[in-house]
Amino acid sequence: MSEYQFVLNGEKRFIDCELSRRLLDVIRIDEGLTGTKEGCQEGECGACLVFIDDEIFNSCLVPMSNVVGKSVVTIEAYAKTEEYQRIERAFLEAGAVQCGYCTPGMVMAVSSLLRSGKPLDEDAVRMGLSGNLCRCTGYQTIFEAVCSLKESGGQDV
Amino acid sequence: MKITDAVHRVDGAGKLKGETKYIEDMHFDNMLYAKTLRSKIAKGRITNIEYPELPKEIFIIDAEDMPANNEVAIIERDMPVFAKDAVRYLGEPIALVVGEDKDAILKYMSKIKIEYAEEEPVCDLSQAAKKPDHIMTERAYEKGNLSEIEYDEKVTEIFETTYQEQLYMEKQGVVGTVEEGVVTVYGSLQCPYYALGALKHAMGMDETKLRVIQTPTGGAFGGKEEYPSLLACQVAAAAYKLKRPVRLVLDRREDMAYTTKRHPSKMVITSYIKDKKVLGMDFDIMLDAGSYLGLSDVVMQRAIFTMTGGYKIANLKMRGRTVRTNNVFTGAFRGFGAPQSMYALELHMSHLAKHLGEDPLKFRRRHYVKRGDLTATNGRFNEEIYLDRLTDLLENMSGYKEAVSKKRILAGYGVSVVPHGGGFTGDGEAVHIKAVVKLKKESNGRVTILVSNVEMGQGAITTLSKIVAIVLEMDMDRVGYETPDTFKVPDSGPTVASRTTMVVGALLARAAAKLKNRMHEPGEVIITEHFKQPDYVKWNAETLQGNAYMAYSWSVLLARVEVDPVSYEVKCTDIWGAYDVGVPIDEKLLIGQIQGGMVQGLGYAIMENMTSKAGGIEQFTFSSYPIPTTMDVPKLHAEWIINPYQDGPFGAKSVGELTLVGVAPAVAAAIEDAIGIITSEIPVTPEVIERSLV
Ligand code: FES
Ligand code: FES
């Protein structure tokens, strides 16, 4: 058994694959957690965002060597949090979901933005989500959804 | 609840949580992966293919494995499923290499040797158009008598557009399996029955032995209209031979370089002007169809049928041609020919207004069509058309008059007025599509919608469920939507041409009205409804005369841009849109379509620059093909009038495509206004601006 470990959604895992394997493939293929999507395969779209030790990364660019000893959280675990519930409500209310392929990654970016403590005005939201591409919505409903989290107490999460 | 009131999307929560299973997320026992072996040249003959000895668990599927025909039936059957002796574009599929392990497949593929007798490819559209055998289709029509009119002056302009890639976030993907003797294809696609039709021809089996099931589709925009038919034939043949599920999901680079995209075009437009009015127009468009016809002829027809836009022009000469090149084959993309022709028409109209020293909206108003007028193809506009009202709305919502009269530096405004016809061209709905829908009341009182129209992000499930629920006066959560599966749903036609709400929604509304009287009956009740062509639709497909579309939706747009004087970077700050889509079924879904279309149109206008060199697409990664990000989107302002359409569900007309079509000409005109140039191509990149300044 491998000496290398990482934590995935709160559970300890031994790394049995090559350390150069992409984290995205381990999540999606080896672990069968398909909520994290692959859009561009080159770090440009944000569909594959996950948390690594509380910071967001495009998992298509992360080799397993970079997560040794670290904690990875995907949408599957994040979707069980209360913070997620608020994001979900805001997105549904604003009509910010269309084809849904960018959406889990978008949710992760929003979560990171909430944790940053930045004011949730449109400029900050644009900046915070600038690494997430959406081809369907034109983004405006997503801005509305995120800005609406301000009213529900967005900063103290 | 009113029909226009916004509801939460039926499919929203599953997508947010990442629970929705797209094709690449689905598990199939014993599944094999497939990778496409592609031509490395744009034109030539394959003289030899050397496959190294096959390791265990690696398989080759090629033309020899097609059970009936090595042809993809789209409209013609000119495209092979796998190229056999000749290749006609760079990246053309030659075989699938199938195996259990992706790395092993790639390793094996690197050892395959293909020898070609290379021929000179024809890649330049204008050059190709000069060769008679490269004209795939040509269509023309006239109106009035252009050669006899008296005019003050004539103005000729040439416009060019390049490729646009759909860039749906979910790549193309299909899985072929054999389930209880039935060859089944699951896939991310818009048109289950198109894929089924292609399978019948390629596999030589009927619909009892073939089955197509749509999987949740992560964006399509036309890119998953005809192209999946090719992929479906490939995996069906593989699964049939290997008797195991075979998955083919394209790599993003393959998807960008080798699948259909918007046609590059060249257009020449001449206006004959008398007393500051356009009396006549001559329009010629050629489209780079690539190496196979696909849907190109239909795309070209839409371009020429709507070419006069919102204007009454008595004398016309129209011609369209689809041209064969050795570029990648082009196809459906939101707008379907209209983004090219409306770009040319609308920028031309802005140029004419400027030339005549007039406000661009005031100039357009003099030409507006109204109900009862003749269309370009001598049909009659049957529905009320309120272009003046829409223009008033736009002027008011944007503060137009004040804004354009103020002195500005490096900021400019541009407008466009465009229609988009809903549904298939001419009598296509009645003659070709013949949509059938079913509504089923279960014994527990729940109602299920049975149609082949798919959810691809646009909100079809929500829209159609809402229509049925409101007619039946029941809660939306008691209305279900069956997965588009050719074993379960009737053929209500493809999910294209902005027809789902307007045409299929209307059939469902009729079915629901009938079901309402039978809801009290015990047990199951099934209502079937067939499309009937409205009396006012008259069409002659030979002469191209009559009603090219059943009804039109309309938009009047204003764009505002700022241009950096040093870098010539363009920042679009605002787009205002006034719309007539009949009655919107759901305001939130309408806004979603409008904003998404505006931003995709903005990409087409200034950012998305896709080119082909010696037959190869040069931008095949996200980093080399930038689309609008959160930092690029302007403020988007949308309002609409309510103008019920007699044959639409609750008065609804079409929405999806219209929202993209008018953006590019408005933005291009705004850039011209900002820095005093004339342009004739999109995207208007800094390089184009620089060139226009000299
Ligand atoms: S797939 Fe990782 S950023 Fe696009
Ligand atoms: S909802 Fe389709 S890409 Fe964002």
Strand B153-161 with B681-682, pairing: parallel
- Atom 4 (ligand 2) nearest CA: A134
Q: Can you list the positions of beta strands (E) in B581-672?
A: 612-613, 616-617, 635-641
- For residue B252, give the chain A residue with the closest CA: A40
* Top mutation candidate among B169, B595, B600, B629 for ligand 2, by most atoms within 8 Å of CB: B169
B11 CB within 8 Å of a chain A CB:
yes
Average pLDDT over residues B79-98: 98
Q: Does pTM top 0.95 for this prediction? A: yes
State how far the alpha carbon of B437 is from the alpha carbons of B256, B493, B509, B531, in Å: 35, 9, 10, 9
Instruction: Give pLDDT, residue A156.
Output: 41
Instruction: Give the residue from B129, B153, B161 showing the smallest Cα distance to B679.
Output: B161
Question: pLDDT for A35-75, tens place per residue?
Answer: 999 999 999 999 999 999 999 999 999 999 999 999 999 99
Closest ligand to the CA of A103 = 2
Average pLDDT over residues B404-420: 95
**CA atoms of B163 and B339, how far apart (whole Å):** 11
**CA atoms of B187 and B28, how far apart (whole Å):** 13
Asked if B458 and A98 come within 8 Å (Cβ–Cβ), the reply is: yes
The answer to whether the beta carbons of residues B311 and B368 sit under 8 Å apart is yes
Residues 6+ apart with CB under 8 A from B423: B429, B497, B498, B499, B502, B503, B549, B550, B551, B654
Question: pLDDT for B578-604, tens place per residue?
Answer: 999 999 999 999 999 999 999 999 999
Looking at every residue in chain B, the average pLDDT score rounds to 97
- pLDDT confidence bin for A150, thresholds 50/70/90: confident
* In CATH, A5-78 is 3.10.20.30: yes
CA of A101, closest CA in chain B: separation in Å?
A: 5
In this structure, how many other beta carbons lie within 10 angstroms of the beta carbon of residue B298? 24
Token pair 């293909």 is at which residue? Answer: B114
- Atom 2 (ligand 2) nearest CA: A99
Q: Which atom of ligand 1 is nearest to the CA of A59?
A: 2
Question: pLDDT for B632-682, tens place per residue?
Answer: 999 999 999 999 999 999 999 999 999 999 999 999 999 999 999 999 999
Task: Give residues 92 to 151 of A whose Cβ lies within 8 Å of B.
Answer: 92-95, 97-104, 107, 125-127, 129-130, 132-143
Task: Give residues 615 to 634 of B whose Cβ lies within 8 Å of A.
Answer: 621-623, 627-631, 633
The answer to whether the beta carbons of residues B424 and B497 sit under 8 Å apart is yes
Give the domains, in start order, of chain B with CATH numbers: 23-119+166-258 (3.30.365.10), 265-425+544-693 (3.30.365.10), 428-530 (3.30.365.10)
Instruction: Show me where the domains of chain A are located.
Output: 5-78, 82-156
Average pLDDT over residues B151-156: 98
The predicted complex's ipTM stands at 0.97
Give the strand order in the sheet containing B173-179.
Answer: B58-62, B93-99, B32-38, B246-249, B173-179, B182-187, B210-214
* Helical (H) or strand (E) element with B415: strand B411-421
- pLDDT confidence bin for A152, thresholds 50/70/90: low
In this structure, how many other beta carbons lie within 10 angstroms of the beta carbon of residue B28? 15
Say which of B6, B220, B598 has its CB closest to residue A95.
Answer: B6
Structure tokens at B46: 């394959």
**CA atoms of B497 and B657, how far apart (whole Å):** 7
Asked if A126 and B252 come within 8 Å (Cβ–Cβ), the reply is: no
A–B interface: beta-carbon pairs under 8 A: 169
Instruction: Give the residue from B504, B487, B502 showing the smallest Cα distance to B582.
Output: B502
Which of the residues B8, B10, B15 would you substitute to probe the A interface, choosing the one with the greatest number of A C-beta atoms within 10 Å?
A: B15
Question: pLDDT for B40-61, tens place per residue?
Answer: 999 999 999 999 999 999 999 9
Question: pLDDT for B128-138, tens place per residue?
Answer: 999 999 999 99
Token pair 């997503």 is at which residue? Answer: A142
Please give the DSSP secondary-structure letter assigned to residue B25.
G
Please give the DSSP secondary-structure letter assigned to residue A59.
G
Q: Which CATH superfamily is domain A82-156 in?
A: [2Fe-2S]-binding domain (1.10.150.120)
How many CA atoms, within 13 angstroms, populate the side-chain half-sphere of residue B658?
A: 32
Say which of A79, A135, A137 has its CB closest to residue B17.
Answer: A79
The answer to whether the beta carbons of residues B475 and B400 sit under 8 Å apart is no
Structure tokens at B497: 């041409």
- pLDDT confidence bin for A157, thresholds 50/70/90: very low
Residues of chain A positioned with their CB less than 8 A from the CB of B261: none
Instruction: Give pLDDT, residue A1.
Output: 60
- For residue A95, give the chain B residue with the closest CA: B588
Asked if A136 and B636 come within 8 Å (Cβ–Cβ), the reply is: no
- Tell me the torsion sign for CA atoms B671, B677, B680, B681: negative
Residues 6+ apart with CB under 8 A from B687: none
Question: pLDDT for A74-107, tens place per residue?
Answer: 999 999 999 999 999 999 999 999 999 999 999 9
Q: Can you list the positions of beta strands (E) in B52-199?
A: 58-62, 86-87, 93-99, 113-118, 135-143, 153-161, 173-179, 182-187
Instruction: Give pLDDT, residue A2.
Output: 75
Q: Is A25 in the pocket of ligand 1 (CB under 6 A)?
A: no
Average pLDDT over residues B247-269: 98
A77 CB within 8 Å of a chain B CB:
no
B340, pLDDT greater than 70: yes
Cis peptide leading into B683, omega within 30 of 0? yes
Task: Give residues 219 to 278 of B whose Cβ lies within 8 Å of A.
Answer: 219-221, 251-253
Question: Is residue B12 helix, strand or coil?
Answer: helix
CA A111 centroid distance within chain: 8
A155, pLDDT greater than 50: no
Buried-state track B615-653, b at ≥16 Cβ within 10 A, e below 16: bbbebbebeebebbbbebbbebbbebbebebebbbbbbb
Instruction: Give pLDDT, residue A36.
Output: 98
Residues of chain B positioned with their CB less than 8 A from the CB of A86: none
Question: pLDDT for B484-499, tens place per residue?
Answer: 999 999 999 999 999 9
* Helical (H) or strand (E) element with B592: helix B587-602
Question: pLDDT for B212-257, tens place per residue?
Answer: 999 999 999 999 999 999 999 999 999 999 999 999 999 999 999 9
- For residue B13, give the chain A residue with the closest CA: A88
CA of B630, closest CA in chain A: separation in Å?
A: 5
Residues of chain A positioned with their CB less than 8 A from the CB of B18: 34-37, 74-76, 79, 103-104
Instruction: Give the residue from B475, B464, B445, B422 showing the smallest Cα distance to B656.
Output: B422
Instruction: Give the residue from B456, B29, B291, B208 showing the smallest Cα distance to B199.
Output: B208
Which of the residues B598, B630, B637, B663 would you substitute to probe the A interface, choosing the one with the greatest number of A C-beta atoms within 10 Å?
A: B630
**CA atoms of A68 and A51, how far apart (whole Å):** 14
Closest ligand to the CA of A109 = 1
**CA atoms of A106 and B611, how far apart (whole Å):** 30
Q: Amino acid identity of B518?
A: R
Q: How far is the CA of B616 from the centre of ligand 2 (A)?
A: 28
Question: pLDDT for B61-74, tens place per residue?
Answer: 999 999 999 999 99
Q: What is the DSSP string of B431-467?
A: III--EEEEEE-TTS-EEEE-S---SSS-HHHHHHHH
CA of B244, closest CA in chain A: separation in Å?
A: 19
**CA atoms of B167 and B603, how far apart (whole Å):** 11
Buried-state track B207-221, b at ≥16 Cβ within 10 A, e below 16: bebbbbbbbbbbbbb
B399, pLDDT greater than 70: yes
Q: Is A47 in the pocket of ligand 1 (CB under 6 A)?
A: yes
